[in-house]
Structure 1
């Protein structure tokens, strides 16, 4: 018997190691054949909620030992998981939906397994972040995933200021009840950019609504919170060199009828440039 065969887990043909496995984000059929194979052969499946994962596996006729692994028990569970992997077991790691580790706990486990010299591999699949980005109709060549914004207005606006100058599309996850407030702050801080609200991805009532941030904010203020999980995509700022060419013209027009503060605020919203840059140039133009 070869060493490779001796390391087979009791459930069959899986090599020992941690299998980070994507699961569907909505439509239960969006799971790969390889994922079903691994989930069925693993010595155990580590999951956020055993009920959620249990339902998915029941739909596909897969049976396995389910072990809870989430942010509340991670420090306690990691040593046990490492011990099982060291004994030659094959363990799968899943989240409730989509790709594990993306806005989910797990990266510390991956790092610890690697530092122990044990095997980690990834079974790619469904991802709400990528699905929302693809369906947004906004630039996809460069994007920055920022997860969930802070729930409080002041902290949320501060976070958006930090993200404002990134020359890429911005991708967020957001709750339906906070969507309207988040869009208002985005319109205020990020200015005249396009956005896309994508929701219920891969499900029957999948929807993409694309408009300016201001128009999106107005829509959800009138319509109220939508249903379902939301991925929010914001288009990139205007290229700095293009915005810079118009900066003096825009400031000149704004300063003719507005106070310095108001002019800076208006031009910052239009160009997407950092406020400090616009303010500094406005002071230079006023000779202050």
Structure 2
């Protein structure tokens, strides 16, 4: 199929453009993205100060407004009203593709419900950049993004990831990456993994090995810098079964939940694949201890 010429572009008429921006290297932006950012009447940016650096580098003077996770619902209606009135608006985040572990979902959802044309302008993504260079299987993969901070919810998700047979991807801040590697090794066993750090930037780095070997390398350093993208290999048939410390799982759940013993036992039994009666007896016992 031949590539369309610029005259064949579908970027005519009012629309909400979801524009991907560089994740580090300012050259990683498409010609189409630059044109769209120049042509729209407004750019909705996660952080206008951050986006201004990109716009200044390419001499783009389009007006901006802030749209982030704390004001997205309130600002969404204003953006949609502009498009319905015949203008075009571009949505950008600080880095990468909007809506992928970044603000934008609520705006896109509301715009779609009101018949606004939503047009993706693809480009940089830490998820795809990391996967492409990891060397782990990518015929199928699971994207999890950032894990929740509450311990109980984190363990629930990690336990679900343990059964996946394909590569999965997590994002994590540098200050918490060692902790995450330890949690993964504890729940999943010592899997093959690749940690991508500072993607597309001057100090880009790929650490390859196992969860424990990567954790050991990071522990030997005085500090870890740069946002982290972690790719973890899927479970194999020969992988050793994960031994579950039921009492420890229950203690974590009790600390994070105010559910009744019966409901708590039901959810834990389903997640851990254990008989509900066994789990219920342990919940009652540990609840009394508490």
Query: Above 0.5 in TM-score?
Result: yes
Shift of residue 154, structure 1, vs aligned partner: 4.7
Normalized against structure 1, the TM-score is what?
0.77
> 2:253: which partner in 1?
none
Larger Rg: 1
Write out per-residue CA displacement over residues 149-196 of structure 1, whole angstroms, 9 at most, x where no aligned residue.
233555433321121112211101001111111101111111131011
Which runs of no fewer than 5 residues in structure 1 stay unpaired?
A: 1-12, 252-259, 263-273, 278-288
Normalized against structure 2, the TM-score is what?
0.77
Shift of residue 82, structure 1, vs aligned partner: 1.5
> 2:185: which partner in 1?
187
One of 66, 69, 90 as aligned partner of 2:67: 69
> 1:280: which partner in 2?
none
Task: Determine whether 1:140 maps to 2:105.
Answer: no
Report if aligned partners of 2:21, 2:94 keep a CA contact under 8 Å in 1.
yes
Equivalent residues in 2 for 1:199-214 (5 A)? 199-214=197-212
Distance 1:81 1:137 in 2: 41
Alignment RMSD, CA only?
Answer: 2.2
One of 86, 89, 94 as aligned partner of 2:87: 89
Equivalent residues in 2 for 1:47-66 (5 A)? 47-66=45-64
Q: Could you say if the C-alpha distance between residues 60 and 230 of structure 1 is closer, same or farther in structure 2, counting changes exceeding 3 Å? A: same
One of 228, 231, 240 as aligned partner of 1:230: 228
Report if aligned partners of 2:21, 2:97 keep a CA contact under 8 Å in 1.
yes
2:202 counterpart SS class: coil
Report if aligned partners of 1:180, 1:225 keep a CA contact under 8 Å in 2.
no
Write out per-residue CA displacement over residues 38-90 of structure 1, whole angstroms, 9 at most, x where no aligned residue.
00010100010001111100001111000111111112111111111111100
Q: Which moved more, 1:147-156 or 1:104-113?
A: 147-156
> 2:249: which partner in 1?
none
Shift of residue 261, structure 1, vs aligned partner: 7.4
Distance 1:230 1:70 in 2: 21
1:223 counterpart SS class: coil
Q: Which moved more, 1:164-173 or 1:43-52?
A: 164-173
Which runs of no fewer than 5 residues in structure 2 stay unpaired?
A: 1-10, 246-270, 275-290
Distance 2:110 2:32 in 1: 25
Task: Determine whether 1:101 maps to 2:109.
Answer: no
Distance 1:238 1:170 in 2: 13
> 1:166: which partner in 2?
164
Write out per-residue CA displacement over residues 209-250 of structure 1, whole angstroms, 9 at most, x where no aligned residue.
0111121122222325411111001011104xx55xx98xxx
> 1:176: which partner in 2?
174
Distance 1:65 1:220 in 2: 42
Distance 1:87 1:191 in 2: 55
Shift of residue 96, structure 1, vs aligned partner: 0.5
Report if aligned partners of 1:14, 1:42 keep a CA contact under 8 Å in 2.
no
> 1:34: which partner in 2?
32
